[in-house]
């Protein structure tokens, strides 16, 4: 059995998604009968629960200790529109160019007396 939804008699559905940029450049548009929905692209979230507007997620502000979770304690998180990247300013720490990876370094060499 299939479920069919018809618009009221005499009313033709409008494809709102054919309008330029109805959801903005940060969301995908999905036409529905009588309406439409907007789904945020990766890296974006709804401005509010009822909003169709998508805004950038500030990954650097997520969590109680943002830098520790996102870029490591020796990394600096840099938010960008739709993404973020990790800067590794501390000597000896790197993410090997994988910009969304926390900065890591070699553990200190233990000093042992003979
Ligand atoms: Ca971002």
Query: What's the CA-to-centroid distance between 44 and ligand 1, angstroms?
Result: 7
The answer regarding whether domain 16-56 maps to CATH 2.10.25 reads yes
Q: Which residues of 55-72 are buried (b: 16+ CB within 10 A; e: fewer)?
A: ebbebbeeeeeebeebbb
CB 60 within 8 A of CB 66: yes
SS3 label, residue 100: coil
Query: What's the CA-to-centroid distance between 66 and ligand 1, angstroms?
Result: 13
Same fold, 16-56 and 60-105: yes
CATH of 60-105, one of 2.40.50, 2.40.30, 2.30.29, 2.10.25: 2.10.25
The full set of domain ranges for the chain reads: 16-56, 60-105
DSSP 68: H
Digitized pLDDT (tens) for each residue of the chain, 114 residues in all: 667 766 666 678 999 999 888 999 999 999 999 999 999 999 999 999 888 889 999 999 865 555 567 898 889 999 999 999 999 999 999 999 999 999 998 755 566 776
Query: What's the CA-to-centroid distance between 114 and ligand 1, angstroms?
Result: 51
Please state whether beta strands 44-46 and 54-56 pair in parallel, antiparallel, or not at all (unpaired): antiparallel
pTM of the model: 0.69
């Amino acid at each position: 059995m299939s479920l069919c939804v018809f618009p009221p008699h005499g009313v033709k559905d409008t494809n709102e998604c054919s309008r330029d940029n109805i959801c903005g450049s940060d969301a995908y548009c999905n036409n529905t009968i009588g309406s439409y929905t907007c789904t945020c692209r990766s890296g974006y979230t709804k401005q509010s629960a009822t909003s169709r507007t998508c805004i950038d997620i500030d990954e650097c502000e997520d969590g109680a200790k943002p830098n520790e979770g996102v870029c490591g304690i020796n990394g600096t998180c840099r938010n960008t529109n739709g993404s973020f990247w990790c800067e590794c300013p501390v000597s000896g720490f790197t993410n090997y160019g994988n910009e969304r990876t926390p900065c890591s370094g070699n553990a200190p060499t233990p000093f042992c007396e003979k």
